[in-house]
Structure 1
Amino acid sequence: MIDNLVYSVNAILPIFLLVVLGWILKRAGKLTDSFTEVADWLVFKVGLPVMLFLEVAESSLAESGDGLLILYLIVAVTASFTLMSLLSPFIVRKPEMRGAFIQGSCRSNFAILGVPLAQNMFGDVGGQVIAITMPFVILMFNSYSVVILSIFSGSREQKFGWKTLKGILKSIVTNPLIIGVIIGVPFMLWQIPLPTAASKTLHYLSGLTTPLALLSLGANFKSESLRGRAGYAVLGALNRTVIIPAVAVTAAALFGLRGPSLGVVLICFGAPTAVSSYIMAKKMNNDHELAAQILLLSTMLCVFTIFIGIFILKSLDLI
């Protein structure tokens, strides 16, 4: 179990350290507002779509036949977004904060941390099981996030109607992250290989995404932004790392999921808030400062909560 704790720390700590580095460089005058603006655009429009395309394109439907796991993840992710959306008006007073709160609570860093965590827990089998779930989970996380951020975009909650629905559908269709996932689906279904030069180029771009997003996140962080948001940030982080994972994993175990499949459920719902949640909240006119705080807090908490989750499931001989 010490190995699991060490791995969890090694997986999460670099994320936190890059955020701190961005904050230090901004305070030292080395990163400017112009840099972070360009970095946010590059991550949202280029880096993340490329990274998600590769995640989907390089997975294979033949790698796993666990239909129950896929069905469970679809239902559970949908339920978490739906329930949090229904509860948020009673929790978050300001409508402009609700989109960031819901997304931060429900959307995990599955795309970045999923495969390495699964491989560490279960070896190649874990990587194969999680690869088959990746397209479904990524598409749901991004689609639901676009819907939520569109509804709560701006200074007040939008009234739902045909005009709003058209705007949401347009946001989904034109969202760079959704486009990246959709383009990757044919490559996954028919196992279309990428030319070597194209593959290397795309992997170079993908490799820039997470460091650049985290540096920008740290550079944009302002301690004074915690005022009026600290309670929501803490609750959002607890939703992301404790409450939702506990419910999702317990339900999955009751439905009969075991071994790598149950481990994937823990990773999907127990990973910290997605790095891209901050960028999306900012670009879609939501409270990106609250999104950043939930991301930071959930990343710190995740080191302990994932370890505890692994320990409990292994102690009960469920994984």
Structure 2
Amino acid sequence: MLPIFLKTLPFFAIIALGWFAARIRFFPPVATEWLTKFVFYFALSAMLFRFSAALDLTSLWDPAFVMAYLGGSLTVWLIGMAVARARGLSLPEMAMEAHCCVIGNTGFLGVPMLVVLLGPQAVGPVLMVLIVDLLVFSTLITLIISGSGRGPIGWRTVAPLLKGLVGNPMIISMAAGLVWAWLRLPLPDPLVEFLDLLGAAATPGALFAIGASLVARSASRIGPAIWLSFAKLTLHPLAVGIAAFGIFGVQPFAAGVMVAAAALPVAGNVYILAQHFNVAMQRVSTTILISTAASIVTIPFVIHWITGGLP
């Protein structure tokens, strides 16, 4: 357990460094904003394209993997909806809390960390998780909140969603990489060096930006945030693990990566959605803060289980 903790420690140390730099105002909010944009649009996109373009597409698509992750995640999503409804929340609030229960920081934390800790063979499963999160759950919450109390869902509801999906650089870079892999095009050496150089900035940049963004998150609505953090860090990987290992029989390594991805803390882009729709912003902000802090302990346990139980 200690060796795994020591392996994950540098990742969280960079997050802590980002938090400290922002806390003492050496790294102001505007710097965090622009660093996040650089990582999101350039460094992370280069990394995702590089990974996607080198994949073997015949082994990437696994219906059992998709069904296991989707089934486990939807189970926890429904639990989140039920608990929110029992507390008398509105439908938009219910959807936002359910979204917190299943959307982990796969892009900024999962892709860099899990690939380093579990090896390059983890790229395919991590990308599949990211694709399901972006295409299924981002669509689901947008349709629910946009259509709530506004009559039938029409083009005015769907158009911004499609624009957001098409304009998402993570989706564009993954799609471009997968097309490149499908066409079996070679990657010229200068292009590889360019992508590797730019993509290398994704890991430290993303982790530093995560830490710096935590400074803006105040701790209030503690009770709901603790429940949502528990659901994300414990119930989500548990449900996904049961679906992957016990129901759909996913290949052990891919199933382990899936569980590790499900154990990631709540993603920062959930707050962007909450802010955009003006729904449960403080609750989401506190949940991101608590789940990220708690994941320093929970993620090493999950990685230890995966690496100890896999051949």
Greater CA deviation, 99-108 or 179-188?
Answer: 99-108
Aligned partners of 1:179 and 1:219: how far apart in 2? 26
State the aligned residue count.
Answer: 304
Relative to structure 1, is the Cα distance of residues 232 and 202 closer, same or farther in structure 2, using a 3 angstrom cutoff?
Answer: farther
Relative to structure 1, is the Cα distance of residues 88 and 184 closer, same or farther in structure 2, using a 3 angstrom cutoff?
Answer: farther
Relative to structure 1, is the Cα distance of residues 37 and 118 closer, same or farther in structure 2, using a 3 angstrom cutoff?
Answer: closer
1:173-192 alignment to 2 at 5 Å?
Answer: 173-192=166-185
Instruction: Give structure 2 stretches of 5+ with no counterpart.
Output: none
Deviation per residue, 1:204-261 (Å, 9 max, x gap): 2222234333333333434772123x23332222122111111221232222346324
- Say whether residues 1:27 and 2:19 are aligned partners: no
1:19-168 alignment to 2 at 5 Å?
Answer: 19-63=15-59, 68-77=64-73, 80-81=76-77, 84=80, 88-90=84-86, 93=89, 101-108=97-104, 109=106, 110-119=110-119, 127-128=120-121, 130-147=122-139, 150-151=142-143, 159=150, 161-162=153-154, 163-168=156-161
Relative to structure 1, is the Cα distance of residues 63 and 271 closer, same or farther in structure 2, using a 3 angstrom cutoff?
Answer: same
Do the aligned residues in 2 keep the contact of 1:60 with 1:131 (CA within 8 Å)?
Answer: no
1:298-317 alignment to 2 at 5 Å?
Answer: 298-309=291-302
The structural deviation recorded for 1:77 is 4.2
The aligned counterpart of 1:225 is 218
Deviation per residue, 1:263-293 (Å, 9 max, x gap): 2332232233446656776688776765554
Relative to structure 1, is the Cα distance of residues 31 and 59 closer, same or farther in structure 2, using a 3 angstrom cutoff?
Answer: same
The aligned counterpart of 2:7 is 10
Instruction: Give structure 1 stretches of 5+ with no counterpart.
Output: 120-126
Give me the identity figure in percent: 21
Aligned partners of 1:14 and 1:282: how far apart in 2? 31
Relative to structure 1, is the Cα distance of residues 261 and 27 closer, same or farther in structure 2, using a 3 angstrom cutoff?
Answer: closer
Using structure 2 for the length normalisation, give the TM-score: 0.76
Aligned partners of 1:250 and 1:232: how far apart in 2? 25
Relative to structure 1, is the Cα distance of residues 65 and 146 closer, same or farther in structure 2, using a 3 angstrom cutoff?
Answer: closer
230, 235, 250: which one pairs with 1:243? 235
Aligned partners of 1:211 and 1:158: how far apart in 2? 42
Do the aligned residues in 2 keep the contact of 1:60 with 1:188 (CA within 8 Å)?
Answer: yes
Classify the secondary structure of the residue corresponding to 2:187.
coil
Aligned partners of 2:198 and 2:141: how far apart in 1? 26
Using structure 1 for the length normalisation, give the TM-score: 0.75
194, 197, 222: which one pairs with 1:201? 194
261, 265, 271: which one pairs with 2:264? 271
Do the aligned residues in 2 keep the contact of 1:151 with 1:158 (CA within 8 Å)?
Answer: no
Do the aligned residues in 2 keep the contact of 1:275 with 1:295 (CA within 8 Å)?
Answer: yes
Do the aligned residues in 2 keep the contact of 1:57 with 1:186 (CA within 8 Å)?
Answer: yes
Quick one: which amino acid aligns to residue 236 of structure 1?
Answer: L
The structural deviation recorded for 1:164 is 0.9
